A and B are shown apart, each in its own frame.
Chain A
Amino acid sequence: MKADRLRGAAASRKAPTGIAGFDEITRGGLPRGRTALVQGGPGSGKTIFGLQFLVNGARHFKEAGIFVAFEETSQRIMANAESFDWQLPQLLRKQLLFVDAQPQPELVQSGDFDLCGLLAGLEAQAAVQKTRRIVFDALDIVLALLPDLAARRREIYRLHDWLLKCELTCIVTLKAAVDEPSSVTQQPYGFMQFMVDCSVILNHSVVLGVSQRNLRVQKYRGSQFDENESPFVIGKMGFDVAIVRLLGRADAAVTHERVTSGVKRLDTMLGGGYYRAACVLITGFPGTAKTTLSGAFADAACRRGERTLFVSFDSDGSEVIRNLSSVGILLNRHVKSGVLRMASSRTVNGSAEMCLVRIKELAQAHGARCLVIDPVSALSQFGNEMTAYGVAERLLDWSKAERITLVCTSLSNEISERAEDDTLLHMSAMADTWIHLNYLVQAGERNRGMSIIKSRGTAHSNQVRELILSNDGVTLADIFTAGGEVLMGTMRWEKESAERVAIEVAAVARKLKGVTLDAEQAELGVRLKAVQTEFIAKQIEKTLLARTTASRKAEVLRGNVRMRELRSGDAAAPKRK
């Protein structure tokens, strides 16, 4: 609550410019009722910056503005501004006034003068229109007419006092030498730096033939601001200042939803596929099937009905489609149905920043949920090395915020010994999943190997797999290790067939053994039966023996008795009765 109130108070002390990124850098805009200085070399965008401040003020913040043009005529400025989506003509009647103040070429000057005439006129006009914002574009033009430095200083202070009195939020633009932004105090109007409350430096430089624009807030009295140079582009809506995600801004919502990589076994290796809204980096040498792997992803996404943008820097969209169809990835139908949008550019035109803006525009126009950039390393081409890292970072931030699943390929340097080395973009550090493709040259063959170097938040296989491209698509095969060596391609096939033969032999042997055992078992059974019979016979014999023994004993006893009876002489006989 307290923070909200404080922010509210801070906002009222600032006049939002409505320029994407700039209000974030300055925590709310330009100092309200004060003067801001915008300096830059020719073509650095000073006029556009000033005009956009007024246009946005009129359109979005209900603050009327006056544009005082010292250099270009207002007609020319308006004509130039027609290329932006600003609806300038609608604003012209009430909210935006142009005042031409160019010194006429036939102007004759005799002696010293001052700006009172202009200021008096502006003051009257401002009172009528309830003007809140004013821009003095190219003030240096009129100051140059003044005879000496003292007179220039006097007029600048006059202007400054007047602005404070009128409580207008003001931008003064001045030309500055591009090469030495540090020595700004030595420039003719250096003292303006100390007078104003906010100072912005626009820089337009060419690095190895690539145009790079950046903006830096040099000072801002009584406010925090980002002190670094921020790249910007001038797009359809005017300025678009790139900002790195600020600390404390809400993180993009994370999800556990998985999306398929388009290759079944790869999904298994990743424990279910890529995460939705993750950034997947596929690195590899030229020809290691990076495009194919990303094409498989795009195909799978389109088959789910998710709108997909495929940005190709290496070759034309139609070429990509043709090439991928040879491995069973048919993208043409998705293009026809409108789910897939192919965008291609032979090289990166302009700065990496510009390219990022273009990709964003395309993705937004298409409503893309999945995005393939092939290869993203194109962003770090000559002239963009310095900025590409930041661009890649913002690409990631943006895709995460938009919940777009991003698959990027990146070309590894073939000369580099370390195949898994980082690209210039340092994407590998930022990517959620990093798949590396490489060649394994062995026994006169070159085969593709694939491994997952990292995959945040998912259990993933540590195995190197062989990537096989066939008419039916992409598959992964196990690879054999024999004697500490990895076997791929034909050697793997040989090994596989050898294994198949071995399995067959083993099966036959098993069968044979079974038969033998059966026979032995049968034989034993027969023997068992014989023994059992013998056993029974013995038992019978034993019983018979016992019986004959008993009867013989009885017979003997009976015989004795009979004998005694016959002899009749024994006295003992009656005893037994």
Chain B
Amino acid sequence: MQKKILFPVVAVAVLAVMLAGCAGSKATGTLQFYANGEDFVRQGFVSKDGWSITFDHVYINLSDIAAYQTDPPYEATSGGDIDPAATVAVDGEYTIDLAEGDENAEPLLVAEVADVAVEHYNALAWKMSKASSGPAAGYSLVIIGTAEKDGESLDFTLNIDEECDYQCGEYVGDMRKGIVAENGTADVEMTFHFDHIFGDGDLPADDELNLAAVGFQPFADGQDAAAVINMTDMHLGHVGEGHCDCGCQ
């Protein structure tokens, strides 16, 4: 009698635990991380002080990359640390050439993480750190290009060794990003606005962007990039048109 009762009891208990576990399993998808120097890098532009700049290479070294689901949504303008409900982290460091490809090139895939939870990843963080190897070894940002003005042509290389932490809210652009559906692929984007460093000749001289930018003339005059550029003030990192909280040292 005891055996007749014991076996079915154990069988039901085991089955209950297994099925309950299956019923609770979460759906997953894939999240891709992109880097984008925008048309300013791919097509060149005119600086606030009239230099026509084209870029051969823009090496940026990225690490500590992570996307987050936050609720309430993280507001970069308020600053503070991101308090995530879910995290997708990318291991390692990546040196990306933002000028790679032709003038119509797409944003560059940095990393892809599979089997991430189905969420709307509405915050993004990364570090611009000194590269341990490769074309930007020892620097976090290396800009190589040519600047022309009034018949004068200058080949230049600007090396930045400041390391910056960027904490950003949701991507702002034509379409929303970071929305992972079951068995689907979504993407998030680290966007870099180089007009913040050189200014934009298409904007008025007293435009806020141009007032904050250093332009190109200091480099044409032979000044060192590290002495001229304060990366915290440049606000280089964005998420599309969305802002990031930035700290550099």
Bound together: no
Chain B residues at the A interface, C-beta cutoff of 8 Å? none
Chain A residues at the B interface, C-beta cutoff of 8 Å? none
